[in-house]
Amino acid sequence: MTAYRQAAERYRAGNPAEAAAALQRLDREQLKIVVPWLDALRMVPQSLRDLDHFRPFSDFNWRAFAWDRPTLRAAGMLHVEAAVTAFRANDEADFKFHSEMASTVLAIADRPRPKSNEVTGTTEQRATLAISLLLVDDSGAFPSGKRYLSVAIGRFPDDPQLLLTVGTLNEADATRWIAPVPRVDDSDGARRSRAVRNAALHDAAGLFERAIASDPSLLEARVRLAHVRILERKDNDATTLLVQVLAAQPPPEWTYVARLMLGDVDERAGKTDEANRLYVDAIAVQPDGQSAYIALSEAMYAGGNRSAATDVLARLYGRHLTPESHDPWWEYPFGNWRDAEPMLESLRAEARQ
């Protein structure tokens, strides 16, 4: 207990490397015993802890286990740091242990003490979202990440951003499951691939619908739900959602993505002129959006206007784009992963107060 508290205090004092090393030296089985005591003592009113003659625990050292909220928050964030490090090192066991410990300790910190005027904290919820955003970026080969996200939405079933994040992972998973051209003797394999893809799409749609129900102003959830409907070939549903999004005048990156998707729907429906206008409008809001130039050129080429298609590509090449050029469609599969680090920085600052 003493060593654990010292690690938390080092983290709070702004020595994360020392704190991390101290945490790694601790016996994990003992930590699993210590943390429930922190929880139990958090629920004992201060008045009882101050009674030296309180029975049957008159010899119990209350102060060793009765941590205040700042110390608990620092300990929880120390586990968050360890979980993030484990994820980046692809260490399944470490991620599982520290992410679970982080949730437990931060939940203790967030809960008000009995007979106090403390308000409920939100550190656990925000830390969970930050970790979840990181996981969407590269969790395809990280089973512990998917388990973490499943538990997370069980703990916070009405958090629209968390629902959006987990839905984004399912959406990305579905686009990875491209059914191969079936061999004569492998029709079952193609069927299984489609079943996995369809299940991921179904799960994504359900999560996006829950996110919209929780926060109707969340336009990104509507765009992503529309994308799922397009993949399911439910173009009418997708069109309704995308028209709603564009009517709300979203930020340029979401206007761009919505126009690309709506153009795709129109193009498949044979509405070539409408699709071309949408692609042109997409370029207008994101002049470096390579995807829109290619979509427009392809549509023109397919429509027999090869000279115009060539001119569009010439415009694209003339912009001398690089892999760093901004195209929201390139970043679309990874969700809002860039928000994770600022969120973690904010939580770190709070833990050091």
Give tens-digit pLDDT for 34-74. 999 899 888 776 555 554 545 555 555 666 777 889 999 99
More confident residue, 5 or 177: 5
Task: Output the six-digit token pair for 9.
Answer: 């205090």
Select from 334, 345, 347, 349 the least CA-distant residue to 165: 334
Domain ranges, ordered by start, for the chain: 1-118, 251-329
- Calculate ∠ Cα 161-163-166, nearest 5°: 110
- pLDDT tens across 247-282, in order? 999 999 999 999 999 999 999 999 999 999 999 999
| Terminal Cα distance for the chain, rounded | 22
**DSSP codes, 62-128:** HHHH---HHHHHHHHHHHHHHHHHHHHTT-HHHHHHHHHHHHHHHHHHHSPPTTS-PPPP-HHHHHH
- pLDDT tens across 309-334, in order? 999 999 999 999 988 888 999 989 88
| Sequence-ordered list of residues with C-beta below 8 angstroms from that of 168, at least 6 positions apart, any chain | 136, 204, 224, 333, 334, 335
| pLDDT of res. 50 | 55
| pLDDT of res. 114 | 78
| pLDDT of res. 18 | 96
* Alpha-carbon gap, residue 302 to 351, rounded angstroms: 57
CA atoms within 13 A on the CB side of 23: 27
* Alpha-carbon gap, residue 264 to 297, rounded angstroms: 13
What mean pLDDT comes out for the span 136-150? 73
Radius of gyration of the chain (CA): 26
CATH code of 251-329, in short, is 1.25.40.10
Select from 36, 64, 69, 34 the least CA-distant residue to 49: 64
User: Residue 318, exposed/middle/buried by CB under 10 A (0-12, 13-18, 19+)?
Assistant: exposed
pTM for this prediction: 0.87
Say how far residue 115 (Cα) sits from the centre of its chain: 36
179 DSSP 8-state letter: P
Q: How many helices (H) and strands (E) does the chain have?
A: 19, 0
